[in-house]
Structure formats: C-alpha cells, structure tokens
C-alpha cells in the first residue's frame, strides 16, 4: 500500500474531484433544466439541495475512500470483512463503465463541433444548426471516429497515473475552464437585452415553487456532484490522511454551484438578447448556442472557446470514470496501469458503439421504448447511481461508530450530528423518492 500513488497536493485533489463533478451535468444539463423549470426558483432549490443533501453524501464518499486507501471493492472488503458491502464497488464499476460508454459519444460530438468551429464551418450565415446536429449524430463513421478520439484522450491522461496524469490535467483544465467561463460571461452580459436573461435567473417566479421542481432540482444536485458511482471513493483513496475531507468536499460543492450558475450566466443573457426561448431543452448547447454565437461580433472565436470549455469539463469527468475501472482492475499494483488503461478503454469503446449508432443505423433498435443511448443513460442516472448513493449513505451512517466518524470528519459536535442525521435518514429518504419518481416517470 505504501507504493500506491497519491495526489501531490490538496488543491490537486480538489480540482480533480471538482472536475469529476463538473461535467456535462453542470454545463449542458443544468442550463436546460433551469430553462424549462422557471429559472431562478429551480436554481435556488438546486443550491439548497446541493448543500443539504448532496454535500453530506459527498463527504461520506470521501470518508470511505480516504479511510480505505484502496480501490472501491477492496476498500469495502477491508472495512467490512465478510459482509456484502463490497458489491457497492462492483456497482460503481458497472455504472462508470456504462456511463463512460455513452458519455464518450457526447465527448465525440463535442470534438466534431470543435473541429468545425476551428475550421470556420460554423460561421456561415443562415446555417441550419438543427439539421447539422442531426447529420452529425447520424453519421456512423464520424461518430465512431470522434468517440474513439475522445476515449484516446481520456486514457492517455489516466495511464499517466494520479500525479503525472489526472492531477496535472486537472490543474491545467480546471483553471482554464474558469477563465474561459469568465470571458464568455463578460461577452454574454454585455449584449443588448441581456438583462432579461439575468432576471430570468435571479428574479423568482414563485409559480414554479412546487414538488415537481423540487424533485428535479434534487435530482440535478444529486447527480451533478458525481456521487453514487464510487468515483469520489476512488479519488479520495489517493488522499493523505492529514487532509480535511469536510473542507475538501465543501470546496468541490461550491465550485460545482459556481460553474453551474456561470453556465447559466453565459447562456441565458445571450439567449434572451437574441430573442431565443430558454425552454429549448437538451438541444440548447448543440443547436441554439451555435446560432446565438453566429450573430455576435467575433462569434466564431467565442464559439471555439465555448466548445474547448465543454471539452475540458467532459474530459475531467471522463477520466474520473475510467480511473474507477482502472483502479479496480489493477488493485494494489501500480505497474499494470498503462496496460489496464488501454484494455479497459478499448472495452468501454466497444460497449459504447451501440450508443454512438443510436441516432443513425441503430435508431430503430429500442429497449423499453428507448434507443440504446437513452437506455444506457436511464439505467445509470435513474437506477444505478441512486442505488449506489443510497448504499454509500447507509454504510457511512450506520457501519462506522460515531467516534470513528467524528474523528474522520474532524468537525464540531453540532456539525457532525447534522451530517449523521442527513446520511442516516434525510438523504436515504430523498434518494428513495428519486428512485420511486424515476420508476413511474
């Protein structure tokens, strides 16, 4: 165990963990979820749910991982010998593999758009972006090449290890992500008519304050922190015992909230200023935003920056998912990382082929009325992730003694009592509500 790789610094760990959380959920899903659910009220509920429910579960994952200092399966085996808790690690392995299989497809779409933006193919006046998006995702050769390129980029980072790969990449990508967001934010809010978009985000429309919006905000907060798939258990297993996991988790949660709000501040002022509807749904990033940027001075440059930004966010999440699979694959060994990275990346790429072809040659193939891509998304987001988070919450809440947990968290009695109450009772109830709602959706 002494030879096991570790993060070289606390900031490296925080940026890597934040990168895992800040992915398409924050930049792609959050804006369209806010756009279709009233804007400001959804955002307020999202922040509350992140702090009250998501953060305590994130702390629980950090505690399990840092205490185990092993991959998720062996971490549970050593901390609960002879009990089936190690199945949570297997659940995380399966979930991460499936998520990355279709996540890499979206990563490929982003690479396709970035290539077109750099080669100035997205700046022609009157370009039909809806048709362009449909053509790209239906082209089997392009989507498979782009998916393969994205997986190659991901595995090259993971094979280099924690210090030399994941930490270095996160230290570069995450600050650049913030810088690019600030540039786009300044450009967006200085447009004529941008104030309507800002009002949409910050002036509450209380008619949206209902159970449906609360549950959607809870689901967004829950999934945007990347909990439930053992990614945070894996990352925190490389963390030194001296680090304060409560403050680290708090920093990750705050960064996730800031990036989500910045995404809204980039998108909604521009959408309102150029007279588009915020209720465009999932096509907001690939269909509406290119049309918005096309109408701006220097729009081609800002579009390139935007897709680089989304690529960074997507890659930092993808490397976390591949790291879970690789960490379990190599166990306590370190010399097999490169080989394992290539093998598992290749397997995940092959598993992702049906998802890549779901909008083209395999569009007629359905499971439970969903194409392969949507089914893979549904089975992970609506079933595997909530179950994983539920089990992690119960393990942290009931397996450890109060003395052990409080020592690990190194917090005051009041804060510890609040955390324990949430992970034992409030979070499991909230997760069960999400599972029930998903089952009947």
- In order of start, what are the domains of the chain with their CATH numbers? 10-439 (1.20.1740.10)
Residue 2: its pLDDT value, please? 43
Given a cut of 50, whether residue 179 has pLDDT beyond it is yes
**pLDDT tens digits along 392-411:** 999 999 999 998 899 888 88
- Residue-wise DSSP of 392-423: HHHIIIIIS-HHHHHHHHT--HHHHHHHHHII
What confidence tier does 334 reach under pLDDT thresholds 50, 70, 90?
A: low
Residue 1: its pLDDT value, please? 39
Cα distance between residue 329 and residue 331, in whole Å: 6
Question: Residue 85: helix, strand or coil by DSSP?
Answer: helix
Cα distance between residue 419 and residue 175, in whole Å: 30
Least confident of 54-58, 193-197, 249-253, 277-281: 277-281
- Residue-wise DSSP of 299-348: HHHHHHHHHHHHHHHHHHHHHHHHHHHHHHHHTT-STTHHHHHHHHHHHH
**pLDDT tens digits along 23-45:** 777 777 788 788 888 888 999 99
Please give the DSSP secondary-structure letter assigned to residue 367: E
Cα distance between residue 390 and residue 430, in whole Å: 9
The two three-digit tokens of residue 97, written as one number: 């593999």
What is the reported pTM? 0.87
Residue 298: its pLDDT value, please? 80
Please give the DSSP secondary-structure letter assigned to residue 86: G
Residue 160: its pLDDT value, please? 82
CA angle 397, 251, 73 (to 5 degrees): 45
- Residue-wise DSSP of 246-263: HHHHHHHHHHHHHHHHHH
Mean pLDDT score across all residues of the chain: 86
């Amino acid at each position: 165990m002494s030879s096991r790789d570790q993060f070289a610094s606390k900031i490296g760990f925080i940026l890597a963990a934040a990168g895992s959380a800040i992915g398409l959920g924050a930049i792609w899903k959050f804006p369209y979820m806010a756009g279709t659910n009233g804007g400001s009220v959804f955002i307020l509920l999202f922040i509350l749910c992140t702090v009250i429910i998501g953060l305590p579960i994130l702390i629980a994952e950090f505690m399990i991982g840092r205490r185990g200092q092993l991959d998720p399966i062996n971490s549970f085996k050593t901390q609960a010998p002879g009990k089936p808790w190690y199945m949570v690690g297997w659940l995380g392995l399966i979930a991460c593999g499936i998520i990355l299989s279709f996540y890499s497809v979206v990563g490929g779409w982003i690479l396709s758009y970035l290539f077109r933006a750099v080669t100035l193919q997205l700046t022609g006046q009157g370009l039909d972006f809806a048709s362009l998006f449909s053509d790209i995702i239906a082209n089997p050769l392009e989507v498979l090449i782009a998916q393969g390129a994205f997986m190659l980029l991901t595995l090259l980072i993971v094979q280099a290890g924690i210090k030399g790969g994941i930490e270095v990449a996160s230290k570069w990508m995450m600050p650049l992500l913030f810088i690019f967001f600030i540039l786009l934010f300044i450009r967006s809010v200085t447009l004529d008519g941008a104030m309507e978009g800002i009002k949409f985000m910050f002036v509450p429309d209380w008619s949206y304050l209902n159970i449906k919006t609360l549950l959607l905000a809870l689901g967004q907060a829950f999934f945007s922190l990347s909990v439930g798939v053992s990614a945070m258990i894996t990352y925190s297993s490389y963390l030194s015992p001296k680090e304060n996991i409560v403050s680290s988790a708090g920093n990750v949660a705050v960064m996730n909230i800031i990036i989500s709000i910045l995404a809204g501040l980039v998108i909604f002022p521009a959408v309102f200023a150029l007279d588009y509807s915020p209720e465009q749904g999932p096509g907001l990033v690939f269909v509406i935003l290119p049309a918005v940027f096309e109408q701006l001075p220097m729009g081609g440059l800002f579009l390139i920056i935007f897709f680089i930004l989304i690529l960074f966010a997507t890659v930092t999440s993808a490397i976390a998912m591949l790291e879970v699979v690789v960490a379990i694959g190599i166990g306590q060994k370190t010399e097999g990382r490169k080989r394992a990275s290539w093998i598992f990346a290749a397997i995940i790429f092959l598993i992702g082929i049906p998802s890549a072809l779901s909008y083209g040659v395999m569009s007629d193939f359905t499971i439970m009325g969903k194409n392969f891509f949507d089914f893979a998304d549904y089975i992970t987001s609506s079933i595997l992730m909530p179950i994983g988070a539920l089990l992690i919450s119960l393990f942290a809440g009931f397996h450890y003694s109060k003395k052990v947990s409080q020592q690990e968290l190194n917090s005051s009695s009041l804060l510890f009592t609040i955390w324990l109450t949430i992970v034992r009772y409030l979070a499991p109830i909230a997760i069960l509500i999400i599972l029930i709602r998903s089952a009947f959706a």
